[in-house]
Amino acid sequence: MDGCSAKWGRQTICIRILAWLVGVAGAEAAEVPVQTKGAKHMGRQRRAKLEQDYCMRRVASTDFAINFFNNPWMARENMTAYFECLYKLRTSLKPAEKVVYAGGVHYPTLIVANHQHPVVSTSATRWCWLHKGGLSSNGLSHNVCCDTQYGPRGLDTCWDSYFTYDLCCLGDLAHGEAPHFYSAPALDINVGNTLKMRGTFDLRMSYALQALCRRGDTVLDVGANIGAFTVPLAERVGPSGEVHAFEPFRKVFQHLNANVALNGLSNVYTYNYAIGRQEKTLEIHTPDLNTFNFPSAMRVEDQHVPGAHSEANNVFYEQRRGTITMRTLDSFSFGPKIDLIKIDVEFMELEVVLGARETIRRYQPVIWAENEPFFTKKPPDTTFVDTMLSEFGYTCQSVSHLELLCTPTSITNTVIEGVNKMFKVLNRPLAHLKLQDLLAEVDPNYARTV
């Protein structure tokens, strides 16, 4: 505890105030006793702000490479303080305000920093029981800390101003949402714009997809775009799970990778391929990111011809064509299981599943697919639905406009029961929609398993 005496848990009876000397690395720390309650000379908010400012300066100023890595920054105490600041700036000292930055040289980009509301994922609750590195246990547990035999709010010494009973025992994510960071094409008026505002693309769909997953699951995100669903799905399945994300357009794919990296996700595997029924190379138009555009509406096959029709659909192409490789899902190896496949590929969903015959038959995953012809044509075009039944024995249900949920007939009734529970929450107005309520509806043990 760095020289501070402490109670068991998170509460301490002193706070380390690290001296800051401008331009001098390795300043020695001074321990200043502080009362745990009612400190008269410094309120809690002011102390937190001072510590936050200190940590931001330390992280920004630390330079390990000075003098060929032979400098005071490499001292153990400085590296420990640096690591501590990284942890706190993601939890108890995270900035309160979301900031959007504009950048880009060849086309305009946005960086969204510190998105917290609406809530993106369940990651915040997992930090309750993790060491500061984010992987191993911190020695605390839900069973002990949340036991109401110690009091109505569990064992008091488990909590501090950030890690609270509400967050850690009730799963109330609004109390501690982890800050999220995103990169997006600035002129993407669809996915990029919505990611900037909401931290995902379709909030209800994001929450529904997360409700279909558990820790340790494997998910395929086919048509991942810039990762608006990839990020929350990766957080939901956790480090023991995997998300495999596929995006064919090179520059869009680069933003997908950026968003995986910005959010420090170690369980995501990305692939710059189109997914279809056969393997081939295509010379096709690619999205123009220098104009207001709908990159998510751009097709790989049967593209709109550049001109009036494509522009009426807010699809604008670069003048030169790009080379894209198409592969089948059956050509990949995904390990022992696949639990969920999400497909959003602009009228190629039938091609995707027909190129995944062995994958679907072997793993029997739940499949969430956008299938516009079923919803927009009169009468509905049931080609995809009929194929899922005849080829795979899957039953498809409409879950929202343009979206189908397809499951093996053996589990359809169970899935429908779960979907009905989901929509008790999903039908609420967005202002009252809470991810933890949805997860608790489909899993009574949600608070214990996050």
Q: Is residue 8 assigned to a domain?
A: no
Instruction: Check residue 38 and give left, alpha or beta (phi > 0: left; psi -120 to 50: alpha).
Output: left
Contact status, residue 450 vs residue 126, Cβ threshold 8 Å: yes
Residue 46 shares a structural domain with residue 72: yes
Residue 211 shares a structural domain with residue 135: no
Residue 187 shares a structural domain with residue 146: no
Q: Is residue 6 assigned to a domain?
A: no
Residue 206 shares a structural domain with residue 63: no
96: CB partners within 8 A, 6+ apart: none
120-124, 253-257, 340-344: range with lowest mean pLDDT: 120-124
pLDDT at 283 over 90: yes
Domain range enclosing 34: 14-90
Residue 216: predicted pLDDT: 95
Residue 206 shares a structural domain with residue 267: yes
Residue 74 shares a structural domain with residue 105: no
Residue 83 shares a structural domain with residue 124: no
Question: Can you give the CATH number for the domain in which 258 is found?
Answer: 3.40.50.150
Contact status, residue 343 vs residue 184, Cβ threshold 8 Å: no
pLDDT tens profile 180-196 = 999 999 999 999 999 99
Q: Is residue 7 assigned to a domain?
A: no
Residue 165 shares a structural domain with residue 202: no
Q: Is residue 170 assigned to a domain?
A: yes
Q: Is residue 3 assigned to a domain?
A: no
Of 155, 175, 195, at which residue does a domain stop?
Answer: 175
pLDDT at 361 over 60: yes
Q: Is residue 1 assigned to a domain?
A: no
Residue 242 shares a structural domain with residue 255: yes
292: CB partners within 8 A, 6+ apart: 187, 189, 314, 316
Mean pLDDT value across residues 216-237? 97
Residue 244 shares a structural domain with residue 361: yes
Of 137, 159, 175, at which residue does a domain stop?
Answer: 175
In terms of residues, how long is the chain?
450
CA distance to 86, 136, 144, per residue, from 20 (Å): 17, 31, 39
13-17, 67-71, 438-442: range with lowest mean pLDDT: 13-17
Residue 302 shares a structural domain with residue 199: yes
111-125, 328-342, 358-372, 383-397: range with lowest mean pLDDT: 111-125
Pairing of the two strands 366-370 and 218-222: unpaired
Which one has a higher pLDDT value, 14 or 312?
A: 312
Q: What is the pTM of this model?
A: 0.90
Contact status, residue 242 vs residue 218, Cβ threshold 8 Å: yes
Residue 450: predicted pLDDT: 55
Number of structural domains (the chain) is 3
Residue 449: predicted pLDDT: 61
| Percentage of residues of the chain with pLDDT beyond 70 | 88
pLDDT at 401 over 80: yes
pLDDT at 295 over 90: yes
Of 126, 152, 175, at which residue does a domain stop?
Answer: 175
pLDDT tens profile 298-333 = 999 988 766 655 666 788 989 889 999 999 999 999
Q: Is residue 63 assigned to a domain?
A: yes
Residue 28 shares a structural domain with residue 133: no
